[in-house]
Chains A and B, each alone.
Chain A
Amino acid sequence: MSGSSKKYWKGIEELENHPEFVKNANKEFQEYLPILNKNEETGATHRRDFLKILGFGVAAVSLAACEAPVKKAIPYAIKPEEVDPGIANWYASTFVDGADYVSVLVKTREGRPIKIEGNKFSSVTKGATSVKAQGSVLSLYDENRLRKPQKQGKDTDWKSVDADLIAALNEASSKGGKIRLVTPSIASPSTQAVINEFVGKYNAKHIVYDSISYAGIVKANQKSFGKAAIPSYDFSKASVIVSIGADFLSTWLMSGQYAKQYAATRKLNKKNKVMSRHYQFETTLSLTGANADFRTPVKPSQLGLVATTLYKLLGGNIDAPSLELPSLKKAAAELLENKGKSLVVSGSNDPEVQVVVNAINAALGNYGTTIDLNATNNLIQGNDSDFNAFVDELKAGEIEAALFYDVNPVYNNSRSADIKEGIKKTPLTVAFAYSKDETSSEVKYILAENHYLENWNDYQPIDGFYSIQQPTITNIFDTRQFQETLLTLVGKEPDYYAYIRENWSTTLFGKQSTYLTFDDFWNRSVHNGVFEVAGASIGGSFDFVGDVAAASAAIASTYKIKSDKVELAIYVKAGLGDGSQANNPWLQELPDPITKATWDNYITIAPSDAKKLGITNVQGNTVYGNLKVGSKTAKLPILIQPGQALGTYGIALGYGRTVAGKVAMERNEKRGVGINAFEFTSLVNGTVSYSVAEVVLEKTDELRQIAHTQIHQTIMGRNIVQDTTLEKYKKIENVREHDENYQKTIVTSEGVQKAGELSLWSRADWKSKYNNHFWGMVIDLNSCIGCSACVVSCNSENNVPVVGRDEVSNARDMHWLRIDRYYSSIEDGKAHEDRDKKLMEEPADNPQVVFQPMMCQHCNNAPCETVCPVLATTHSSEGLNQMTYNRCVGTRYCANNCPYKVRRFNWFAYVENENFDYNMNNSLGKMVLNPDVTVRARGVMEKCSMCVQRIQEGKLAAKRESRRPVDGEIETACSQSCPTEAITFGDMNDPESRISKLIEEEKEGRMFQVLEEINTRPSLYYLSKVRNI
């Protein structure tokens, strides 16, 4: 109408533009309204308003008397452009902890990082995450983290620290004193450049120290190929995998990547009935051993001979005694059949063993196919002898200045006492530390370090694969990242961001041709989180030049066919690793994937050895044992571990912290849980050895209850997990039909019927009530390796409270998602009716293991829904079993009536309760809570919601764009974080979704439902486990 000159009038008054009209034109109500307090003309209060004013006054006074609660939420004074309240922002970053590397996406809400997911842009990790990466976001809000730099235990400021340090370093270097910078392996090119500048300026020496040593592999590669590095492995190309003590699915090197590759070789469907075969030789049952097709327990003193025997069986001509193991012969025969398509790895840190393993892989032609020594793994470069030399110097008091960055050798080194002593003798000691630990509490200056989510950094985990770490929150406290401190110390502008950019523009910008300007290239790399040089993985074979004869001679002298001594194997746990995350309650409460124990350190012992010592484990109740290792004694509870090699014990690393946050501490005591097993490691021929040849275990009478989340070990011959062998699977399509164990039929008056099809309720068309979406999940038990990344992911996404050791002992863990681990029983081979029910409870000595993720099955005939008196748990129109916390009165009937026992009750208030002093008891820790998920109150029931908040978010996003949600757009926390893609989530009403296709394909194949015969009609499906035996 703007172009038109026409004018319209509301009335004749407006046309005439009468003065009276003009006067009142802006007033909506032209007459005097008695609402106003004052009469416009006289200014007096109208008598008619008396009651109104009185009423308002009373209400106002009484309202004012109610004190409004003080909320800590502070609104943005000026809204940042990129932050929308209620909408998450995602940033790509990188998580690195030792050899654990994950390219991550960080979910931030209103400026707070709250969740870690995998980054699918990375071709190294391909969206996989690990337990530690999932848990790392909680460490950002660790109440025990350092808030300021400290000088001799007192808070100080950066300016004075910088001045002190520069003066001290200049003085030290001017008089030619030894300056040593100890760091873990630096996989970051820019950090390395900064370190080089520092080393150059002060004539310092950079010592690389890895808390968990892989120096054996590095040395062996030096000997075998002249390249002191760790290669990258590709398990996905291996048809036969032999692991000699390497827990490559959980803790060995880049296990997250390997797990994904490994699972890829075990994906089965009707068309593809081929899977890899996996042999494992190890001492303590590891997650990898639990997934192996053939697992052979061996003592640590035999491990070297496994390698030499295998080499001999493969045709190698060496002089070493042979182990008579049938599985080894079988493995050798299959390796020979699969030359170039096989992989032999060893977890041994003995370079001689690794040389033989290299020789085996070289003989099998695996270099260039499954092993790539050109694309080296840069996450681990440590050389134990360098560090050892440093400790000698330190102890001798020769060092002028020692700087420790992100290392804690006072805790995690066998020469802890020497280091401690040396630090006292050293004039300048500095630790770049995140929180006070054993090392940083000994030094003069503690430089409060950033969390990785506050940092800029770059990484090159594998040659040619770059990864960027970007901050997702500004520094919460007055901390500063290591690189900026070093830049300050060398007198440069402490702008590490600019430094990285500069570094990238000179080194990496030229390695690509997609982007014309550096800014574009940089922005894209930061956005993606990764930059991969085209054709980075070069492959190519290497000539083996090692001396196998010498190596095997050395092995023959140190390893034995048979040893009468009881040995100790020291292993790494998936959750705690080297103990640096011991203050993370999520990881402490994460059940160990194998033992299902939380919060505890224990001695694992074989069942028959336990019988000899008279040890039983009932409901987790056990006794302490005194383990004598040389002159040291470790007092730990004893846990019976099926699969443990006879005559051996196992202890996990990562416990027995002395200086750490309260989470790592034994309750009401000033010492960490368990003992420090690093003390029992030793340097053997220049590398750290993780076994002890002779130990003595004495049982004591002191009782201890280990907090297990699962205490019953066997499946009791029940058909709740279906497993079969590849051989059978190849012959028969339908796993369920071929085994009478899995046939769930009922004889009725109308003949034999499938149990799941019988119902009291005539609801043949029960699916039709879900006319929009119908969410469901398929879990492939053949892909699930039990790593538990999903469990931590679920805890993080759904604000699952941490309840602590005592409450887990009381069987009140709150995990919505658990992984049931079953051992095969000694009775399992027998016919159904011959089985002795008591003996069925006994796991076999070397059991087969199956993992079954178990969460709410979202039953469509849900037993919980019918029994709730107040309708607090109901079924949604999209097939979800939903829990209305506000309506719950807490009768627990639903939990009792749940056949899957997945419901969790809030026995206490877990928030702001001194008895549960974990992250929900302090305002810093509470920042990790997901604002989309209600924090549950005392007395209500909770359970897996199938991440309904994510479903809702996805649906709303689609609705805004007037479309249906696309398959894969909505993922649950567990399915998203699963490194092996074992969990498929989706809309079963969408015929094109992955889940619909998978169900269609496996309906007559491997698909089954747990407890199908009680007709709960779950929305969760499982695919049978297939063993390649």
Chain B
Amino acid sequence: MQVTSHVREPLVTGGKTYHDVTEDVCRQVEGAPSTLWKFCFGFSLIIFGVGCFSLFKTWTVGLGVWGLNKTVGWAWDITNFVWWVGIGHAGTLISAVLLLFRQKWRTSINRAAEAMTIFAVFCAGSFILMHMGRTWLANWALPLPNTYGSLWVNFNSPLVWDVFAISTYLSVSMVFWYIGLIPDLATIRDRAKEGSISKMMYGAFSLGWVGSSKDWSRYETVSLVLAGLSTPLVLSVHTIVSMDFATSVIPGWHTTIFPPYFVAGAIFSGFAMVLTLMLITRKVYNLQDYITIAHVESMNKIITLTGSIVGVAYITEFFIAYYSGVEYESYCFYNRMTGPYWWAYWSMMTCNVISPQLFWFKSVRTNLTATFILSIIVNIGMWFERFVIIVSSLHRDYLPSSWRDFYPTIYDIGDYIFSFGLFFVCFFLFAKFLPVVNMAEVKSVLKSSSERKVKHNN
């Protein structure tokens, strides 16, 4: 019997040649910044400035500028932290896990996704620092040798695990991203005018890459090793973040389902965020041939899968709350649905469980507008998920005498805006000064053997 494999759809459309790829990607880096970029970057800077003012107030006046109280000790700060960490996950998943699974389609999106990961972790980290009452002593959370005698951190505390998890994650992601950038930086270096500043800068950062077989061989090896290192991180980082809650005694937090549920949620929101950004970049930088509908569709499938996992987790939590017979636990979930924060709960349910199910329809998951809107809805939903977990569990825990609602203040909002400012300033700088698509890897998936297309002029 003869089996005929079906002809694979090309990953890059438009019959691009190697040279086309180089041109298409390098154009953004080498050319003068476009008006649109200037506008977007300027806007980001304004947001960043507003956020910085808010952050300045938070740090100089005290955390009392937020809406927290004696009962609800975490709200937007940790919601934002978990949300940003979750968003970051997609980048690692795409670059590491998909690399190991030889998913070639990832090549055109992994660069931007990884950049997003790093910036998202920056934002998450900013909330770690922000939420501390005495940020200036943040180094005490690190196990550094000191003169206080044998005073170490508390290795029992999930917050210390967090410090390790996030810092490891950030460093591995940065190295992975940077290693991936080296061949592309070298390409830009080679194209740069002799003696120009960019030649010098790109030259320095490309670490003397010459493109020899040895270089490529090492590049591939390091990529594989880092992919192997990163893969467990995809699972571990959010597992540990979830332990901030799961190891506590607070009803609604004290849940063993949290690690897988959080990881799924993180990938879910991360993919949504990648989509949001990629759809914009693709449009702005005219990269439709590299980031194709097939990419969007694959990602939408993953969103549907992870969204469904998250949905099942929600229902499981509910069932266990009922089945356990623990009155605090069951009240907690009853209160989520019907209490003062019912709207947050139902927003979460609508955005996270119902909306991704629309991707079962091929017409929806291949529709760019629908995808864009849904990707934003999913991110809103995932923000609410963390808000619901944190605030609705805390505000009514064991002793009714301490029950208290939380209302955000302008500084809660301002500090959230700060993180957006930080993220977009970084992202736009990245989009201008670094190649947003991994040229080297995309070239490896170009269909080059036959049907050579007439060369374009640009």
Contacts and interface: CB of A to CB of B under 8 A. Distances in A.
Contact of A889 (B74, B141, B152, B158): B141
B134 interface: yes
Contacts of A215: none
Contacts of B61: 908
Interface stretch (A195-203, A284-292, A890-898): A890-898
Contact of A712 (B134, B158, B338, B403): B403
A904 B70 contact: yes
Contacts of A871: 151-154
Interface string A904-932: 11111100000000000000000000000
B280 to A, nearest CB: 36
A980 B376 CA distance: 61
B285 to A, nearest CB: 41
Nearest to B63: A907
B403 A895 contact: no
A837 B334 contact: yes
A897 B249 contact: yes
Contacts of A821: 401
A888 B134 contact: yes
A939 B140 contact: no
B441 interface: no
B131 A939 contact: no
B62 A908 contact: yes
B68 interface: yes
A714 B331 CA distance: 14
A321 to B, nearest CB: 42
B133 A715 contact: no
Contact of B157 (A720, A868, A904): A868
Interface in A810-861: 810-813, 818, 820-822, 837-838, 852, 854
A159 to B, nearest CB: 50
Nearest to B137: A889
A1016 B248 CA distance: 12
B250 A899 contact: yes
A892 B159 contact: no
Nearest to B148: A887
A602 B71 CA distance: 25
Given A838-B338, A939-B62, A889 B404 contact: no
Interface in B397-426: 397-405
B137 A868 contact: no
A890 B157 contact: no
Contact of B400 (A811, A822, A938): A822
Interface in B23-37: none
A168 B282 CA distance: 96
Contacts of B137: 889
Given A710-B401, A716-B331, A895-B73, A890 B132 contact: yes
Nearest to B394: A896
Given A811-B69, A871-B152, A854 B157 contact: no
B208 interface: no
Interface string B39-80: 000000000000000000000011110011111011000000
A896 B400 contact: no
A891 B132 contact: yes
Contact of B402 (A891, A901, A908, A937): A901
B138 interface: yes
Contacts of A900: 398-399, 402
Given A907-B64, A907-B68, A720 B398 contact: yes
A889 B163 contact: no
A897 B338 contact: no
Contacts of A941: 133
B70 A812 contact: yes
Interface residues of A, number: 59
B401 A896 contact: no
Interface string A253-278: 00000000000000000000000000
Contact of B401 (A812, A854, A891): A854
B358 interface: no
B98 interface: no
Given A720-B399, A869-B157, A900-B398, A892 B64 contact: no
Nearest to A939: B133
A88 to B, nearest CB: 31
A837 B62 CA distance: 37
Contacts of B399: 720, 820, 854, 899-901, 1010
Nearest to B73: A892
A774 B61 CA distance: 40
Given A712-B400, A869-B154, A1014-B249, A938 B71 contact: no
A736 B402 CA distance: 24
Contacts of A712: 400-403
Contact of B153 (A720, A822, A866, A870): A870
Contacts of B131: 891-892
B327 A718 contact: yes
A716 B330 CA distance: 13
Given A867-B248, A909-B62, A893 B70 contact: no
Interface in B131-172: 131-135, 137-138, 140-141, 151-154, 156-160, 163
B247 interface: yes
A906 B153 contact: no
A54 to B, nearest CB: 28
A1008 to B, nearest CB: 14
A643 B159 CA distance: 46
Nearest to B400: A712
A173 interface: no
Given A718-B400, A867-B247, A905-B133, A887 B73 contact: no
A901 B133 contact: no
Contacts of B163: 869
Given A812-B70, A866-B156, A619 B140 contact: no
A794 interface: no
A904 B328 CA distance: 23
Contacts of A867: 154, 156-159, 247-248
A965 interface: no
B133 A889 contact: yes
Given A889-B138, A904-B70, A907-B63, A866 B401 contact: no
A363 interface: no
Given A712-B400, A716-B331, A838-B338, A811 B133 contact: no
Contacts of A891: 131-133, 159
A96 interface: no
Contacts of B67: 810
B157 to A, nearest CB: 4
A812 B134 CA distance: 18
A893 B71 contact: no
Given A807-B64, A837-B331, A895 B70 contact: yes
B400 A939 contact: no
Contacts of B160: 869
B405 A863 contact: no
A730 B177 CA distance: 75
Contacts of A866: 154, 156-157, 247
A1011 interface: yes
A496 B287 CA distance: 97
Given A890-B132, A897-B248, A909-B62, 15 more contacts: A619-B404, A715-B400, A716-B400, A869-B153, A887-B140, A889-B132, A889-B133, A892-B133, A897-B249, A903-B70, A905-B133, A908-B61, A937-B134, A939-B63, A939-B133
Interface of A: 619, 710-712, 714-718, 720, 807, 810-813, 818, 820-822, 837-838, 852, 854, 863, 866-871, 887-893, 895-897, 899-901, 903-909, 937-941, 1010-1011, 1014, 1016
9 contacts: A712-B400, A837-B338, A863-B248, A867-B159, A870-B141, A889-B133, A892-B73, A899-B399, A909-B62
Interface of B: 61-64, 67-71, 73-74, 131-135, 137-138, 140-141, 151-154, 156-160, 163, 244, 247-250, 327-328, 331, 334, 338, 394, 397-405
List of 4 A-B pairs having minimum Cβ-Cβ separation, nearest first: A890-B133, A939-B133, A907-B64, A811-B69
